Structure 1
């Protein structure tokens, strides 16, 4: 569920023409916080794969790890450069930076790179996404009846003799 919220936040913040500059900048900061939380939620996996990266780990795990690291770096670049070129968030704190043209170029380049990396990340995890959606949409026919083959048949009590 967290991943879906992260993706939705990314898509909304990706279009400043839809949200306006102020919302774009504040959503970007919120997205940075969400990225930090996402990283912390997956920290055990990150630490485990980091420890075993060159030892016994599957190529799929290595690819996933490298893709995640590239996404983390590119998202960090987006957020940092976005703050550095900010016209709304920095102004709220009474700050203004110079050389925003450099930061704007870095921001757009990192955003383009991240878009491709995010698409690749989704493609790599597509089966997991589809299966997760199926599990969320699946509802049991009757939750109170045990229909497992090992379950005993229900006992009928009849009042007729």
Structure 2
């Protein structure tokens, strides 16, 4: 393996591990507390975009093949990754709109409504399931990469992020522009009749129903259980489907 390829592979697995750890923490806001949850949600965008940049050559090549209608084996993986990207944007935009701690520090206040709260909760849950499927699709590479990784000794590969950003600066600008445009589109959904109807219905239901307070220790345990279940089950089912497909081909 060439040195540049080795550096890229090491950087990729370190960034992915960092992203995964931060994502688990972000997905259990009741356990970490809202302020930590919101600040980590902003921090996690850095490894997320770096992950895209490290894999940009694959994204660009697959996009070209899709235009020429030459994608076959990786077509599902390609489309699925874009769906995961869109879900990440929905989770982020809806999280920003309902921010209670991070944005108010900068004097930015959004009027919270039930539509964005419901959207944030639903998209976050879907993201967990999609992340589980994504892990299953790349499980072989993940296991092999972690076996080769010497975490403390290999942390210096993070210095390669500057090289990646410099090399892929055009791709970064394209990703940022695309993300901003799509995020604005997602935000404008709030003004649709559909979103306003959801807000009105939710307000009526909230006034009728009163939830019983959850025991304090469950507030810390249940979010982690939810993440584990919604992450593991889709991953196991995807792994099972992959094994069945391999057996059918033999």
TM-score, length basis structure 1 = 0.79
**Is 1:55 matched with 2:73?**
no
Choose 90-99 or 63-72, whichever is displaced more: 90-99
Secondary structure at 1:96 match in 2: coil
1:121 counterpart SS class: helix
CA deviation profile, 1:105-154 (whole Å, cap 9, x unmatched): 110111011111000001111111111122236xxxxxxxxxxxxxxxxx
Structure 1: tracts of 5 or more residues without a match: 138-161
Task: Check whether the contact 2:16–2:47 (CA below 8 A) recurs between aligned residues.
Answer: no
Bigger fraction of residues in helix: 2
RMSD of aligned Cα (Å): 1.4
1:72-93 deviations in Å (ceiling 9; x for gaps): 0001110111001001112111
Q: How does 1:89-100 map to 2 (within 5 A)?
A: 89-100=102-113
2:149 partner SS: helix
Equivalents in 2 of 1:4, 1:58: separation in Å? 29
TM superposition shift of 1:70: 0.8
- What per-residue deviation string (whole Å, max 9, x for no partner) do you get for residues 42-92 of structure 1? 222111101102533332x11211111011000111011100100111211
1:46 is aligned, of 41, 59, 65, to: 59
Q: Give runs of ≥4 in structure 1 deviating > 6 Å.
A: none
1:31 pairs with 2:44: yes
**Normalization by structure 2: what TM-score?**
0.52
| Corresponding residue for residue 127 of structure 2 | 114
Q: Look at both structures and tell me which one has the larger radius of gyration over its CA atoms.
A: 1
Counterparts in 2 of 1:100 and 1:36: CA distance versus 1, 3 Å: farther
d(CA) in 2 for partners of 1:56, 1:95: 46
Aligned partner of 2:18 in structure 1 is 5
Gap regions ≥5 residues in structure 2: 1-13, 151-250
Deviates more, 1:29-38 or 1:10-19: 29-38
Specify the SS of the correspondent of 1:86.
Answer: coil
* SS of structure 2 residue aligned to 1:58: coil
Say if 2:97 is the partner of 1:80: no
- 2-side partners of 1:132 and 1:95: how far apart? 42
Distance in 2 of aligned mates of 1:77 and 1:26? 17
* Equivalent residues of 2:84, 2:127 under 8 A apart: yes
2: distance between equivalents of 1:65 and 1:26?
30
Question: How far apart are the structure 2 equivalents of 1:28 and 1:73?
Answer: 16
CA contact (8 A) 2:15 2:50 kept: no
